[in-house]
Amino acid sequence: MENVPEDLVIEILSHLPFKVAAQYQCLNKKLQALISNHVFAMKQATHLSRRSTVLIRSPDVTPNLFYSIPLYPPHEATIIPTNCLSPRAPTVQILASCNGLLLLHLPRANLYSVCNPVTGDYQTIQCPNSLFNGHAGLAIDSRNVLSPQPQYIVLIRAKESQPLRLQYKFNVFSQGSWRKSKTSLAYEHNEFVSGNAICLNGCLHWLRVDGSVIAFDVGEEKSRLIKKPPSFQLGDNKWLGIADGVITMISASREEIVVCALIDDRKESWKITANIGNIAPKENTYHGGFPISFDGLQLLMLYPVEKMDGKIYKYDIYSKLWAHIGTVRNMRDPSQNFFPFLPTLAKVSIAQSGLKIPICLPELRRLLKRSIEV
């Protein structure tokens, strides 16, 4: 095996079941380094995505409750409370998910944490200032993943109002320190749909209410505005994510759900890939419901109903059939985002900062147990 190129070894190992790959780490240091590498994590996530993806959610109203909904049968929602339930306990919010890593925010402690809930590794990061506007992203710069110290980049965005325009400024955490990016561009005034950032190919994307997307390349530190799809009618609720390897936008009105894919990023060329009749329940007061996941094969919609519960329906693209797959109980904040998560053994760069994370990762591991055991 010593004469086999590393790229080929990574390709072969990435087809192994997750638990088997984890066991291979114990064989020798070389395999451990390969399997904990982000290149391997990205490849394995691609192969396992149809079996092990789950969604995690931490509501703003009850931030110490974590939710999980497996995207493939059995679709049994799980709610796990953390041990931090006392009045003095730190609030924990999930802000982003990327390549098996989570970005957490602890506002009372003025900390961020990048962690791998599977391995238990984490890095704590002091916030650059006490003012947090909720717009943060986590990215892996794929051009540097083979370096001895892989870069994990946390991006914070602040916005300053100007007459009918917004100026976006970026703070970047990389290689153990914060810095202000030289990029500072102004665009027409428009709010964000959410604080969620979608990472694809080392670039973070945020969806705005008008359907346009702010993109920030973490390697080159360049920002640009991707215009919304032409003639794309925006519904009550919108979603931005990755499906079949491309940026995908979904707009839901009470009558119809429209799926649109960014097929050419540089040319800003969008294509409508699906028009789906909505089945929003009559008792749903949130119009067309909330798109919470789409992977190219199935769409998951969340419809809030009475008693603060939410019904989840799955639409199969090929059979064109809807199915009720479960209910999220006590959903106090129906517009809160769900985060896709794929378990990986990706290494976290642990800085010697002396900061301790004031939460227990075992709770997240319990939540993801079914996914980890794939």
**What digits encode the pLDDT tens for the residues 29-76?**
777 777 777 777 777 766 665 545 677 776 665 556 677 777 777 666
Which pLDDT value is given to residue 353? 53
pLDDT at 305 over 90: no
- 312-331 residue pLDDT tens: 889 999 999 999 887 776 66
38-52 helix and 6-13 helix, angle to the nearest 10 degrees: 20
- 258-277 residue pLDDT tens: 999 999 888 889 999 999 99
On average, the pLDDT of the chain sits at 76
Nearest to 331 by CA among 270, 290, 272, 362: 290
Strand partners, 164: none
Which pLDDT value is given to residue 148? 47
Q: Cβ(340)–Cβ(65) under 8 Å?
A: no
Non-local CB neighbours of 324 within 8 Å, separated by 6+ positions: 311, 312, 313
Better-predicted residue by pLDDT, 90 or 240: 240
Q: Give the Å distances, CA to CA, from 372 to 20, 53, 133, 206, 326.
A: 11, 10, 32, 29, 21
- CA atoms lying within 13 Å on the CB side of residue 186: 8
Residue 28, Cβ neighbours under 10 Å: how many?
Answer: 11
> Token digits for 104?
């957490």
- 120-153 residue pLDDT tens: 888 888 887 655 555 788 887 655 545 544 566 6
- CA atoms lying within 13 Å on the CB side of residue 319: 8
What's the order of all strands across the beta sheet hosting 198-200? 198-200, 203-207, 213-217, 222-226
Q: Tell me how far apart the alpha carbons of residues 38 and 88 are, in angstroms, rounded to a whole number.
A: 36
- Percent of the chain clearing pLDDT 90 (strictly above): 10
Nearest to 96 by CA among 3, 206, 232, 238: 206
pLDDT grade for 202, boundaries at 50, 70 and 90: confident
- Percent of the chain clearing pLDDT 70 (strictly above): 71
pTM: 0.85
- CA atoms lying within 13 Å on the CB side of residue 142: 14
